[in-house]
């Protein structure tokens, strides 16, 4: 697309907001539209925090993307004048001598000067005495990772986008007619319509609803539950200082963020949940899922055996069939680009994805092949 073309971005979440900002910086005229606002409670980016880690097994594409994203997070939080990245490190609990998800990333970690520290059973127990370690072989500590503020980041990106000259509209969007391989406009819930030279739809879990003919079976939404437990007050400081953790059991993959603004000990359920409607679905815990998470918590962190549940959230995952992001042209309209498939790991990559989208549209780079999908 020639510079100064008008690009309409639909969706102000992790992918859409960052794409709008980097398209603007690339020299395009950009309008960003979102139905309920950046970081809203229905969105996949609407919770308090998200993990940022580079570990992706043998997948170097995502490792490199995360390295770039980490650089951009640090650069932009200075512009935002808001602390968004918290470098607590990421502690991986490993059950076997070989853990491919972690071990296969080690060459990339060395390549980038971001090596992990392996903690044997004795070292792990000594350093983190309130962790039950009897069923663990070792742990790996990634000192470069940590967590990000999620809702606040989406809002900060949108605010910066407007500050730098972008136009933001809060309205529900309905695509207009496609004629001669071109979308002619989008209709807004405020009664107006909007025309652009190019339309980028980055609507998370709603992509399949907006384009059901091509994406209903490609982008699916699941209900992922997140819990915040109260820690014993005499141990609050120790738990607040605990790193982000991921339990690599090969089944449930529980993860957690211990000390975000003293909100409680966060435990997330990463195994895919039941199908979920991001608009009408109620954000209530599933008793069986909560009970199972409590059992894990009591096992891995015995001091939290009777910890009270302080808060709970539902994080809708917008899943692609293989877990890869999707960046593709609509098969019936060459001026529609589809961006999504965060699959529970997309948030951290937001600024790198946005930069890639802007450079690809400007003809300066090609998207990774794993992001391209026949629709």
227-257 pLDDT, tens per residue? Answer: 999 999 999 999 999 999 999 998 889 999 9
Which CATH architecture describes the domain 6-48+151-218+322-371? 3-Layer(bba) Sandwich (3.50)
Residue 131: beta bridge partners? none
Residue of 299, 233, 221 lying closest to 267 (CA atoms): 299
Q: Is the whole-model pTM more than 0.85?
A: yes
What are the E-state strand segments in 167-308? 167-170, 173-175, 178-179, 182-183, 186-188, 193-194, 198-201, 220-229, 244-248, 255-257, 265-268
Residue 267: beta bridge partners? 227, 256
**How far from 264 is each of 231, 236, 311, CA to CA, in Å?**
7, 9, 8
**By percentage, how much of the chain surpasses pLDDT 90?**
96
Residue showing tokens 């790193």:
243
- Other beta carbons within 10 angstroms of residue 209's beta carbon come to 15
Q: Where are the domains of the chain?
A: 6-48+151-218+322-371, 87-144+220-317
Q: Is the pLDDT assigned to residue 261 strictly greater than 90?
A: no
Spatial strand order in the sheet of 309-319: 117-120, 138-142, 90-94, 244-248, 255-257, 265-268, 220-229, 309-319
Question: By the 8 A CB rule, do 90 and 141 touch?
Answer: yes
203-230 pLDDT, tens per residue? Answer: 999 999 999 999 999 999 999 999 999 9
Report the mean per-residue pLDDT for the chain.
96
Which DSSP state fits 214? Answer: H
Contacts 24+ apart (CB under 8 A), 279-287: 279/42, 279/206, 279/209, 281/223, 281/314, 281/316, 283/41, 283/312, 283/313, 283/314, 284/312, 284/314, 285/225, 285/227, 285/309, 285/312, 286/223, 286/225
144-175 pLDDT, tens per residue? Answer: 999 999 999 999 999 999 999 999 999 999 99
CATH number of this structure's domain 87-144+220-317: 3.30.9.10
- pLDDT reported for residue 231: 95
């Amino acid at each position: 697309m020639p510079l100064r073309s008008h690009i309409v971005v639909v969706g102000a979440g992790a992918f859409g907001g960052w794409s709008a900002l980097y398209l603007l910086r690339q020299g395009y005229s950009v309008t960003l539209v979102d139905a309920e606002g950046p970081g809203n409670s229905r969105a996949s980016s609407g919770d308090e925090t998200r993990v940022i880690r580079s570990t992706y097994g043998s997948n170097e594409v995502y490792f490199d993307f995360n390295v770039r994203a980490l650089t951009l997070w640090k650069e932009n939080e200075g512009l935002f004048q808001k602390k968004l990245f918290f470098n607590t490190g990421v502690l991986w609990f490993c059950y076997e001598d070989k853990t491919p998800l972690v071990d296969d990333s080690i060459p990339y970690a060395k390549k980038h000067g971001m090596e992990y520290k392996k903690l044997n059973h004795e070292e792990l127990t000594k350093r983190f005495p309130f962790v039950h370690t009897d069923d663990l072989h070792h742990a790996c500590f990634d000192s470069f990772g940590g967590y990000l503020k999620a809702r606040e980041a989406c809002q900060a990106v949108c605010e910066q986008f407007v500050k730098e000259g972008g136009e933001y509209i809060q309205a529900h969007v309905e695509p207009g007619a496609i004629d001669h391989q071109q979308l002619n406009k989008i209709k807004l819930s405020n009664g107006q319509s909007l025309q652009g030279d190019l339309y980028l739809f980055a609507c998370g879990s709603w992509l399949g609803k907006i384009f059901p003919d091509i994406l209903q079976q490609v982008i699916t939404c699941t209900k992922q539950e997140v819990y915040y437990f109260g820690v014993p007050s005499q141990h609050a400081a120790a738990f607040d200082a605990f790193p982000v953790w991921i339990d690599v059991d090969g089944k449930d993959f529980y993860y957690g963020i211990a000390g975000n603004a003293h909100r409680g000990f966060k435990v997330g359920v990463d195994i895919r949940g039941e199908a979920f409607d991001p608009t009408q679905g109620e954000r209530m815990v599933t008793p069986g899922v909560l009970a199972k998470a409590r059992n894990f918590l009591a096992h891995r962190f015995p001091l939290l055996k009777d910890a009270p549940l302080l808060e709970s959230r539902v994080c809708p995952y917008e899943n692609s069939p293989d877990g890869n992001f999707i960046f593709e042209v609509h098969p019936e309209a060459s001026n529609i680009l589809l961006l999504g498939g965060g699959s529970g790991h997309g948030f951290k990559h937001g600024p790198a994805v946005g930069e890639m989208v802007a450079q690809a549209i400007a003809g300066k780079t090609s998207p990774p092949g794993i992001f391209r999908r026949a629709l």
